[in-house]
Structure 1
Amino acid sequence: MSIYQNQHHVIENVVTRECFSGVVGIKEKDYSPFVTAYGLANRTENRANDIQTRFGIASGCKLFTAIAISQLVEKNLLSFDTRLKDCLDVSFPQFDNHITVHHLLTHQSGIPDYFDEEIMDDYESLWKQVPMYLIRTGADFLPLFQNEKMMFNPGEKFHYNNAGYILLGLMVEKVSGTSFTEYVEQNIFKLCSMDTSGYFSLDYLPSNSALGYIDNRDGSWRTNVYSIPIKGGADGGAFVTAFDMISFWEALFSRKLLSESYTNILLSPHAKVKDGVHYGYGLWMNSKEDFIWKYHVMGYDPGVSFHSAYYPDRKTQTVILSNNSTGAFPVMKEIEEFYHL
């Protein structure tokens, strides 16, 4: 039985309940993708989201950074054991000298984070002292954390860390000789035929891009233009469509981005998060009795919520893109529960 049977009923129920705004995509095996859109991309102009609308995905694109690093390792331009201090000519006066690329990829470096999601919940507060319109490159983030103390010793534990991926992006730039966003667009997006995806500046978004919306308790709302960095980079902020994200998963699992051996390294469980949940290089994986049933990425920013997954046993993909701060997670759970993914 195809996963698409009764999909309208299932998705319509949850999007109505959650007041979901965005796009939902499902792709099973060799079937054509099922993609449907809800809500408004631009509330002022009453412009609806459609199945080709581009959405920001926040931290969902850390996987692109991990693939970029892995490509450079495969070319022998870097190694997973390369130390931070041996790669970047940047001062980190209180950082441990033994931090490696592997530590950064797996959130086990122990470095201070510019936004620690375990103790901070207001991402917008970061930009009260540092205007968000000045944050256009990875180097622009450095003053927010480079002089702070380590949180723990490298390799000691898993602790989700955005700053670590900023440093990985700077490594990509140093080794490749090109900007991080250009490297990803040329060496990942282009190979995946992600023709409408990119790292776009919020003050110059291309056509058919959804504005992110923050809803207030009193019923009022505002866009997220002053709430997140003006341009995305190695720790998050790319814009994609549902079709492009489906193309990405297909390219990754058909070994178009990395060789089989390096794809397997990327997809291996390198850090235990909790029982049944591990982290590889740039993505999460859920397991049951040592069988990985789900590889997935997610992203949350003010005005952005995103979940996308690949289910290897079913060879099925899901993509949930939203231009609201919440909504993607309950849609994903409803789909998984109904279709027993």
Structure 2
Amino acid sequence: MDHQINRTNLFEKQQELQFSGSIHVRKSGKTISTEGFGYANRSDKIANQPHTRFSIASGSKIFTSIAICKLVEEGKLTFDTKIMDCLDIDFPHFDKDITIHHLLMHTSGVPDYFDEDEMDDYEMLWENVPMYRIRCVEDFLPMFQYEKMQDKVGSPFEYNNTGFIILGLVIESVSGMNFTDYIEQNIFQTVGMIGSGYFSMDELPESTSIGYIEKPDGTWKSNIYSLPAKGGPDGGAYVTATDMGIFWEALMNGKLLSEDMTRLLLTPQENVVEDIFYGYGGYMESNEQGVVKYIQMGYDPGVNYRAVYYPDQDLTIIVCSNHSEGAYEMLKEVERLIVNN
């Protein structure tokens, strides 16, 4: 297999899509390709670079999962721990039997604060709750704390953001640390993700892209009024594409979890559809021979993220975008150029 990318084809696809973002391809510790496209700041014509930071929305749920696994390894939790036993927060309508496992696997039945069956626009959430007030995990509580269960505990897989907010509350309660501090210290700093962090949208550091939403007339607006002021356990970390390549390499080399816990994190558990499964670490494509690839995705207004890791090839492909669309198509083009040849 030729692990080189035809840059002409890649740039043609970028032009076709008008893709804005960054791509990083890494194999066995070696960078195959790192590219930036479009603008991190459209007003000032500041270009996206390989070191540009991007929000990755739900792509950062895996950090929450790893934090839980670390606390389990330390003996501070088990996957069967009930949330009522580790949180001093009143959820009057929640089932008392909801466990950490249920939350990780999206089978808890808790009410999703962003129910995609009820609304198709994330911006609608902030009509009643000002997004500038959402800056820590507890700030999400009014959006679901007193709601009734969405389904029975142990119900089939149904993607759920609230479950990860609750996991963040558990991490804070058990570790005694602020959630974002815990992730930055125990994951980002541990593996050398020097460009990554949880940043407030009104206090972004240098080399951070602004998310853009295309308006019906073809002009653009930023997403500053479309997302929580600061991300949390269900999404919203800022990373560089290179850092995510470093992350996957570190995870697979045992720098974050023990060999047994890493294996458990990456084991298929719930069948989502056909050959797509879900485990503690997120989505994965699997067949009779085992996992073909691990899949990360994140979507928010002005944010689009896709990444895959092929364990048999030790191949990572990361695509970050500061537009609402385009990452999936660019990922597929890279796969076509490097994996499927």
Amino acid at match of 1:161: N
CA distance in 1 between counterparts of 2:271 and 2:211 reads: 32
CA distance in 2 between counterparts of 1:310 and 1:282 reads: 12
CA distance in 1 between counterparts of 2:117 and 2:266 reads: 25
Report what 1:47 is aligned to. Answer: 46
Amino acid at match of 2:277: H
Report what 1:98 is aligned to. Answer: 97
Report what 2:79 is aligned to. Answer: 80
CA distance in 2 between counterparts of 1:34 and 1:118 reads: 38
Contact 1:249 1:310 in 2 (8 A): yes
Residues 244-296 of structure 1, C-alpha deviation per residue, up to 9 Å, x if partnerless? Answer: 11110001000110000100111111211011011111311001334211102
Residues 138-190 of structure 1, C-alpha deviation per residue, up to 9 Å, x if partnerless? Answer: 11111111111112211120000000000000100000001000000000001
Superposition pairs of residues 136-147 of structure 1, within 5 angstroms: 136-147=135-146
Structure 1 unaligned spans of 5+: none
Report what 2:70 is aligned to. Answer: 71
- The 1:301–1:147 alpha-carbon spacing in structure 2 relative to 1, beyond 3 Å, is same
In the alignment, is residue 3 of structure 1 matched against residue 12 of structure 2? no
Superposition pairs of residues 299-338 of structure 1, within 5 angstroms: 299-338=298-337
CA distance in 1 between counterparts of 2:49 and 2:26 reads: 17
CA distance in 2 between counterparts of 1:260 and 1:329 reads: 31
CA distance in 2 between counterparts of 1:278 and 1:122 reads: 26
Structure 2 unaligned spans of 5+: none
Report what 1:59 is aligned to. Answer: 58
Moved over 6 A (4+): none
What RMSD, in angstroms, separates the aligned Cα atoms of the two structures?
A: 1.1
Report what 2:231 is aligned to. Answer: 232
When the two structures are superposed, what TM-score results if normalisation uses the length of structure 2? Answer: 0.97
Superposition pairs of residues 209-220 of structure 1, within 5 angstroms: 209-220=208-219
Report what 1:36 is aligned to. Answer: 35
Larger deviation, residues 75-84 vs 30-39: 30-39
Report what 1:293 is aligned to. Answer: 292
Superposition pairs of residues 172-321 of structure 1, within 5 angstroms: 172-321=171-320
Amino acid at match of 1:27: R
May I ask how many residue pairs the two structures share in their alignment?
340
Percent identical among aligned pairs is 51
CA distance in 1 between counterparts of 2:63 and 2:43 reads: 33
1:13 is displaced (CA, Å) by 2.1
CA distance in 2 between counterparts of 1:188 and 1:284 reads: 20
Larger deviation, residues 10-19 vs 227-236: 10-19
Contact 1:192 1:248 in 2 (8 A): yes
Amino acid at match of 1:3: H
Contact 2:5 2:33 in 1 (8 A): no
